[in-house]
Amino acid sequence: MLRIGLLGCGRIGQVHARSATHLDGVSVAAVADAFPEAAQALAAKTGATVMDPDALITSDQVDAVVIGTPTDTHYDLIHKASAAGKAIFCEKPVDMSADRIRECITAVEAANVPFMTAFNRRFDPNFANVQSRIKNGEIGDVEIVTIQSRDPSPPPISYVKSSGGLFRDMMIHDLDMARFLLGEEPISVFAVGSSLVDPEIGKAGDIDTAAVTLTTASGKICQISNSRRATYGYDQRIEVHGSAGMLRAENMLENSVEVANEAGFRRAPAQHFFLERYEAAYAAELKAFADGVTQGTPITPGIVDGLKAQLLADAAALSLEEKRMFSIG
């Protein structure tokens, strides 16, 4: 039995709590949140004990912590949980600062505790299927990776202002996906971006429309595009072109129904947003973490993956600012 202590009982914490209740051999033992009502509500649903974060982290009722609190709290919680010898599941980004992530890596490695950076999309059954088939050689050598990722609508401007910017908040998922699919580290980053969706985003110094090009040492290429708006739902597509074929994962639609009339053949919009679209991914992600911890097997993506995605996002931000390609590593 893996007893989980949940730090943060907001939307994502609730997702992980629900996943945990469906997993054999996993229980939610304790929950903590800055808002007591949020913690109590989740405790009622799961049978967990409400604790304050420090008590939770050091509780002998807790084997692993799931960190779903605001990003600026991750650093402290990771250090404390490492010190307490707990396995750590941490929402992305690990931290806004690459240097601070490096300090977290030092702490985690010193304590030798299991760590997962929660890049949930790696666990989407479709994307995971693509990656495993690449590894099995089904399309030969990877040559071009194309990632299209568009949110249904822009977040509130208050969120944008504290988000770290599109590259670190939104594209970081795609940058991790690029590493996952390329099977090789990017060595160059080039970014362009605009504010086309919401002028307030531009005024806040951020962009809402962006494209990034990555290359690897062997010459593989990845093109990513992002938009903060897609009228037809949450647009999440990947495509990998290889020497022996092409693999692609299309959008998941709200249902399988098609209507035909004078206007043609119409299917449903894409599933609206990440909670629906990645429901199966969230469940598979926590299961992979729990399996890794209980079986003592390696956990991927780890904290170093969190750092590498952050470094790519940082390079993209610099590339946009300086209008030039950046070399990495």
Of 107 and 147, which CB lies nearer to a second copy in the complex structure? 147
The interface with a second copy within residues 299-328 (CB under 8 A) comprises 323-325
In the block, tokens 């449903």 appear at 268
DSSP state of 168: I
298 touches a second copy (CB under 8 A): no
Q: Does 37 bind a second copy (CB under 8 A)?
A: no
Q: And the tokens for 185?
A: 């580290």
Of positions 40, 194, 294, 300, contacts a second copy by CB under 8 A:
194
Query: How far is 227 from 193, CA to CA, in rounded Å?
Result: 10
Q: Binding to a second copy by residue 150, rule CB under 8 A?
A: yes
Describe the crossing of helices 71-83 and 98-111 by its angle, rounded to 10 degrees. Answer: 20
Of residues 258-277, those binding a second copy (CB under 8 A): 258-270
Pair of tokens at residue 11: 């939307």
* Rounded CA separation 38/188 (Å): 43
The residue from 12, 170, 182, 210 that contacts a second copy (CB under 8 A) is 210
Residue 288 vs residues 35, 112, 186, 189, 300: alpha-carbon distances, Å: 29, 18, 26, 30, 8
Mark the segment that binds a second copy (CB under 8 A) among 60-68, 87-95, 110-118, 246-254.
246-254
Q: Pick from 44, 40, 84: which is nearest to 64 by CA?
A: 84
Q: Which of 53, 26, 5 is nearest to 290 (CA)?
A: 26
Of the two residues 111 and 211, which places its CB atom closer to a second copy in the complex?
211
Which of 229, 300, 302, 311 forms a contact with a second copy (CB under 8 A)?
Answer: 229
Q: How far is the CB of 314 from a second copy (least distance, A)?
A: 19
Q: Would you tell me which residues interact with a second copy (CB under 8 A)?
A: 125-126, 129-130, 133, 138-139, 141, 143-144, 146, 148, 150, 188, 190, 192-197, 209-211, 213, 215, 218-221, 223, 225, 227, 229-232, 235, 241, 243-270, 323-325
